[in-house]
C-alpha cells in the first residue's frame, strides 16, 4: 500500500464507493490496534448489534411443529419425512401451542395465531398450513409475489409504522417480498426501464445525501440517467446543518421532464426525516406541476422516528416504498424487505398510456405469463422481471424468510404500547448523545433527528471552533478523505466519508447502531483529536 496519508493516494481512493474504501480503513484500523493499546472500533456500517429475540424464538418453535407435521407422513427411512397435510392442521397447531405453553417463543406465537385468526380472520387450517409449509420450505413461494398471510400481516404493519397508524390497515397496498431492500431497489430500476417508464438518458432526481447505490446505479451504462441533485447539504445562516431541503432545491422537481425522484426518509446519512413543510411542498409540486412524478421512497429507518409518515401515505398514487426489516429487527443476514405500491398508481397508468409500439413490445415480453398483458400490474411485472420473465414460475422470496418476516411484523402489531420501538429509539439516542458530547461539538435539539447515523461536517466545526482562517487552510494542506484515513490509521476507528453519499466534502458518517454506548464516547473523543491535530499543524505552519 502507498503511504495511506499521502494526498495523492487519498484522492485516488476517494473515487471509490465508501463501502469499498471501508475495506482499506478496516485494514489500517486493525493494524493500529495491533501495534498500540487502541481498541478497534468499526462505526462504518449500519449493521445493528441487537436482535429481536422473541420473534426468532417464535420462529424456531414454529419450526418444531412443522417438522412434527412432516413426520406424520413416514417413509420408513431415517431422515426422510413427508410434507404437511392441511386437513385438521389448525386443531393440531392449537393443541401444540397448549402443550408448549411456557416454552421460549410460545407466548408470541400464541398471540400471533390469535391475532391472525381473530383480528385478521384468517382461516385456521389455511394459516397453519402456510406457516408449516413456509417454514420448512418444501414448496415454491405461491403466489410468487408474496405469501397470502405474509401479505395480510405486513399490510397493517406498514400502515402502523410507515403511515402513522393510517386507517384501513393497508388494504389498499400490493406487496412484493424481496431479498432485502437492496434487491427491491434493483427490481424497481429494472422494471421501470423494462416497461418504458424510464429510458436511457432520462432525467431523474436524487435527494442527497443518500445511500451510495442510489448514486451509482443511475450511472451504469444501461441506465445513464441525467441526474438532478436535490440537496439538503446547505449550511444555514447560523453556520449549522439542519439537513432539510430548501424550497429552491425541491422546486427542481416541478420540471415535468424529471420523471422519477429517489429519496431515503429518514435520510442515510444524516438521519433526519422530512419536515411537514417539505412533505407539503412535495404534495404541491406533484399536484400542480408534475403529476406523473414517480417516487421511490426508501423507508428503512422510519421505525426509528416518532410519528413517522412515508410518502407512500402522503402521495400514495405516485410512490413505491422500499421497506427493509434488516435494521429494526437486527436481521441484515435474513435479507427481508417488501416493495409496496398502491393499487391505484401512476406506474400502471403510465404503462396504459404508452405508444402502441411500446405496448406491443411489452406484450411480447410478458405474453408467456398471461393472456391479458395490459392487465398485468406493474408490481407483478417487477416479480417477473426479477427472474427475467422466463423464470417467473420460480420467483419470490424463500418461504422461511417470509414466515420470519411476518412474525417480526406481528410482534410489533401486538406491541400496542410501542415498548420495542421506545427501547430501540432510546438506545440509538443514548449512543448519539455519547458520541456528540465527547466531540465537544454542539448537537442542536431537533425533533426531526432520528440518530441512526450522524453526518459530522468537519468544515463546520473547523470554522466554529478554530475560525475561518483555519478552515480556509485545511483544504490546502489535506484531502477530505484524510479525516477518515487518520481516524483509522492513528486511532483504530473506522467511519465512512460523507462525500461518498453526496454529502459535504469534509463530512464523515458514523453509525450509531453497531457499537455500545461507551464505544461512542471513545469515538467522539478521537474524532475531536483529529480536528485538534489539524489545528496544531496549522499553528506550526503559520509560525
Closest by CA to 143, choosing from 395, 400, 401, is 395
Q: What is the mean pLDDT of each run of 10 residues along the chain (543 residues)?
A: 73 81 84 83 92 98 97 86 96 98 97 98 98 98 97 97 81 96 96 97 96 92 96 92 96 98 96 96 98 98 95 97 97 97 98 98 96 97 97 96 98 96 96 97 95 96 96 96 94 93 95 96 96 96 87
Q: Which three cell numbers stand for residue 150?
A: 405474509
Pair 49, 515: CB distance under 8 Å: yes
Neighbours of 230 (CB within 10 A): 21
- Interhelix angle 89-99/53-70, nearest 10 degrees: 130
- Res 366: pLDDT: 97
The answer to whether 271 touches 452, Cβ cutoff 8 Å, is yes
Per-residue model confidence (pLDDT) at position 17: 85
So what's the pLDDT on residue 2? 61
Strand order in the sheet with 507-511: 453-457, 507-511, 496-497
Q: Which domains does the chain have, with CATH numbers?
A: 7-38+419-542 (3.90.1150.10), 53-136 (1.10.20.110), 159-396 (3.40.640.10)
pLDDT at 22: 81
Amino acid at each position: 500500500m502507498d503511504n495511506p496519508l499521502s494526498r495523492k493516494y487519498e484522492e485516488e481512493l476517494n473515487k471509490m464507493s465508501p463501502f469499498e474504501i471501508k475495506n482499506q480503513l478496516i485494514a489500517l484500523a486493525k493494524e493500529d490496534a495491533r501495534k498500540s493499546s487502541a481498541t478497534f472500533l468499526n462505526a462504518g456500517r449500519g449493521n445493528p448489534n441487537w436482535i429481536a429475540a422473541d420473534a426468532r424464538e417464535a420462529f424456531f418453535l414454529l419450526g418444531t411443529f412443522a417438522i412434527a407435521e412432516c413426520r406424520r407422513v413416514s417413509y420408513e427411512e431415517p431422515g426422510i419425512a413427508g410434507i404437511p397435510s392441511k386437513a385438521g392442521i389448525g386443531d393440531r397447531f392449537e393443541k401444540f401451542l397448549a402443550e408448549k405453553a411456557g416454552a421460549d417463543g410460545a407466548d408470541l406465537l400464541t398471540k400471533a395465531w390469535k391475532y391472525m385468526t381473530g383480528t385478521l380472520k384468517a382461516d385456521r387450517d389455511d394459516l397453519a398450513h402456510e406457516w408449516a409449509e413456509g417454514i420448512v420450505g418444501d414448496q415454491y413461494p405461491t403466489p410468487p409475489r408474496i405469501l397470502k398471510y405474509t401479505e395480510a400481516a405486513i399490510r397493517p404493519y406498514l400502515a402502523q409504522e410507515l403511515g402513522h397508524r393510517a386507517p384501513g390497515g393497508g388494504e389498499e397496498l400490493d406487496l412484493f417480498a424481496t431479498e432485502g431492500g437492496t434487491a427491491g431497489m434493483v427490481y424497481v430500476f429494472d422494471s421501470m426501464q423494462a416497461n418504458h417508464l424510464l429510458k436511457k438518458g432520462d432525467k431523474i432526481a436524487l435527494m442527497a445525501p443518500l445511500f451510495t447505490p442510489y448514486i451509482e446505479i443511475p450511472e451504469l451504462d444501461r441506465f445513464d440517467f441525467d441526474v438532478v441533485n436535490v440537496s439538503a447539504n446547505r449550511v444555514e445562516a447560523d453556520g449549522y446543518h439542519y439537513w432539510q431541503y430548501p424550497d429552491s432545491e425541491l422546486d427542481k422537481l416541478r420540471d415535468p421532464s424529471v420523471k422519477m425522484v429517489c429519496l431515503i426518509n429518514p435520510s442515510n446519512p444524516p438521519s433526519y426525516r422530512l419536515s411537514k413543510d417539505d412533505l407539503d411542498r412535495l404534495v404541491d409540486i406533484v399536484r400542480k406541476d408534475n403529476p406523473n412524478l414517480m417516487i421511490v421512497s426508501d423507508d428503512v429507518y422510519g421505525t426509528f422516528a416518532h410519528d413517522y409518515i412515508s410518502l407512500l401515505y402522503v402521495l400514495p398514487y405516485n410512490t413505491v416504498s422500499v421497506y427493509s426489516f434488516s435494521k429494526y429487527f437486527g436481521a441484515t443476514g435474513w435479507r427481508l424487505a417488501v416493495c409496496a405500491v398502491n393499487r391505484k398508481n401512476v406506474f400502471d397508468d403510465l404503462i396504459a398510456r404508452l405508444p402502441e409500439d411500446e405496448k406491443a413490445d411489452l406484450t411480447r415480453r410478458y405474453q408467456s405469463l398471461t393472456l391479458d398483458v395490459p392487465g398485468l400490474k406493474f408490481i407483478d411485472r417487477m416479480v417477473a422481471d426479477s427472474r427475467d420473465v422466463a423464470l417467473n414460475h420460480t420467483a419470490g422470496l424463500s418461504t422461511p424468510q417470509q414466515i420470519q418476516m411476518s412474525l417480526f411484523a406481528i410482534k410489533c402489531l401486538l406491541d400496542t404500547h410501542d415498548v420495542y420501538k421506545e427501547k430501540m429509539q432510546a438506545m440509538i439516542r443514548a449512543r448519539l448523545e455519547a458520541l456528540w458530547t465527547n466531540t465537544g461539538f454542539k448537537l442542536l435539539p431537533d425533533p426531526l433527528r432520528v440518530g441512526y447515523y450522524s453526518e459530522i461536517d468537519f468544515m463546520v466545526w473547523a470554522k466554529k471552533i478554530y475560525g475561518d482562517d483555519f478552515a480556509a487552510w485545511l483544504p490546502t494542506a489535506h484531502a477530505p478523505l484524510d479525516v477518515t484515513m487518520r481516524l483509522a490509521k492513528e486511532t483504530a476507528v473506522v467511519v465512512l466519508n460523507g462525500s461518498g453519499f453526496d454529502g459535504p466534502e469534509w463530512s464523515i458518517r458514523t453509525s450509531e447502531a453497531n457499537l455500545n454506548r461507551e464505544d461512542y464516547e471513545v469515538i467522539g473523543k478521537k474524532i475531536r483529536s483529529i480536528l485538534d491535530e489539524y489545528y496544531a499543524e496549522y499553528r506550526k505552519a503559520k509560525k
